[in-house]
């Protein structure tokens, strides 16, 4: 016990000596770190972070002048029917298309990973939709889903009359399809990277012990794709908001109510200069997204710590 104490005090002594040099180095590291960050930080600060403070302030004020109205703007937003519709639709869209895209792209990645020939060409083909301008995508979707479009004629063969699918509840699913079509390749490449990072020996060892393909996938592949899943999910989430482009070009400011998203709503508020509602809704969305991201980061750090402790 005593020995150990002496050892630690000895270490402490060396540490203080070292610390002097280290603090100099750390000082430089801090300074240079900020210098590298500076151009970006000035821009983000100037264009988003600082003006956002103003947004927060305005969200508590009345439209004209600067009278304080408390939570009035927030109440107005939450009670707004369009907001409820849009928030519900956006949540529904995310809840449907994120898992769907992740599963489909993982499946495609596994299949493409097993293909021995033409792999490169397949990747190109899957990535191609990313390059097509939204306006062109929209023309294609109109050709397919219009009342007089191709799908209408196809079902016409079976005696069903076509309709304008874009102006019905199906619009939601058309948008989901559009999102998946556009992002399948990108996610597939991410998964392929994650899959490629898993050592082949693990599979061999499992197979020697009689594990089938499915068991290998379930017990070896999936657990090691955690980090890839996080990044892929995050980037897919970011891309999911961009589907607004297609939705907007497809149906304009006021599309069928099944695809009336938060982005439409913000846009319309902006056009009407309804700054109060916009600021309050923006603050709420930032808090919500920040909360989700924060919880995610926290749990990630937490599990990391537990794992480290185990090792």
Residues 165-184 that bind other proteins (CB under 8 A): 181, 184
Q: How far is the CB of 74 from other proteins (least distance, A)?
A: 15
Q: How far is the CB of 17 from other proteins (least distance, A)?
A: 20
Alpha carbons 176 and 132: distance in angstroms, whole number: 17
By CB under 8 A, is residue 255 in contact with other proteins? no
Provide the 10 A C-beta neighbour count for residue 89.
20
Alpha carbons 176 and 240: distance in angstroms, whole number: 9
By CB under 8 A, is residue 262 in contact with other proteins? yes
Please tell me what DSSP assigns to residue 210. T
Sign of CA dihedral 226, 93, 136, 101: positive
By CB under 8 A, is residue 112 in contact with other proteins? yes
Closest CA relative to residue 225, chosen from 93, 109, 94, 96: 109
Put residue 274 in one of left, alpha, beta given phi > 0 → left and psi -120 to 50 → alpha: beta
Question: Contacting other proteins (CB under 8 A), which of 62, 153, 272, 303?
Answer: 153
**E strand or H helix at 298:** helix 275-310
Span interacting with other proteins, options 10-18, 64-72, 73-81, 286-294, rule CB under 8 A: 286-294
Binding pattern for the stretch 201-240 against other proteins, x by CB under 8 A and - elsewhere? --------------------------xx--xx-xx-xx--
Binding pattern for the stretch 64-93 against other proteins, x by CB under 8 A and - elsewhere? ------------------------------
Binding to other proteins, residues 43-62 (CB under 8 A):
43-44, 46-49, 51-52, 54-55
Please, are residues 228 and 187 in contact by the beta-carbon 8 Å criterion? no
Q: Which is nearer to other proteins, 1 or 115 (CB)?
A: 115
């Amino acid at each position: 016990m005593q020995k150990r104490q002496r050892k630690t005090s000895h270490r402490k002594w060396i540490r203080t000596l070292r610390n002097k040099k280290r603090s100099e180095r750390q000082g430089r590291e801090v300074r240079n770190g900020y210098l590298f960050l500076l151009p970006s930080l000035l821009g983000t600060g100037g264009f988003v972070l600082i003006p956002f403070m103003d947004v927060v302030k305005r969200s508590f004020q009345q439209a004209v002048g600067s009278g304080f109205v408390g939570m009035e703007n927030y109440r107005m937003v939450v009670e707004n029917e369009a907001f409820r519709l849009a928030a519900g639709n956006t949540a529904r869209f995310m809840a449907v298309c994120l898992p769907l895209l992740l599963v489909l792209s993982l499946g495609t990645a596994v299949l493409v990973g097993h293909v021995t020939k033409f792999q490169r060409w397949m990747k190109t083909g899957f990535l191609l939709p990313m390059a097509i301008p939204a306006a062109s995508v929209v023309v294609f979707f109109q050709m397919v889903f219009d009342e007089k479009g191709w799908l209408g004629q196809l079902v016409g063969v079976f005696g069903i009359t076509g309709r304008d699918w874009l102006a019905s509840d199906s619009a939601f699913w058309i948008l989901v399809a559009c999102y998946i079509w556009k992002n399948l390749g990108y996610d597939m490449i991410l998964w392929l990277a994650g899959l490629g990072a898993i050592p082949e020996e693990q599979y061999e060892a499992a197979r020697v012990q009689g594990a089938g393909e499915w068991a290998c996938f379930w017990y070896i592949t999936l657990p090691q794709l955690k980090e890839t899943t996080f990044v892929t999910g995050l980037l897919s989430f970011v891309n999911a908001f961009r589907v607004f482009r297609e939705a907007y070009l497809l149906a304009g400011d006021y599309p069928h109510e099944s695809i009336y998203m938060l982005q439409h709503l913000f846009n319309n508020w902006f056009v009407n200069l309804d700054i109060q509602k916009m600021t309050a809704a923006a603050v709420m969305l930032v808090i919500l997204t920040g909360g989700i991201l924060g919880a995610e980061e926290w749990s990630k750090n937490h599990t990391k710590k537990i794992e480290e402790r185990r090792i």
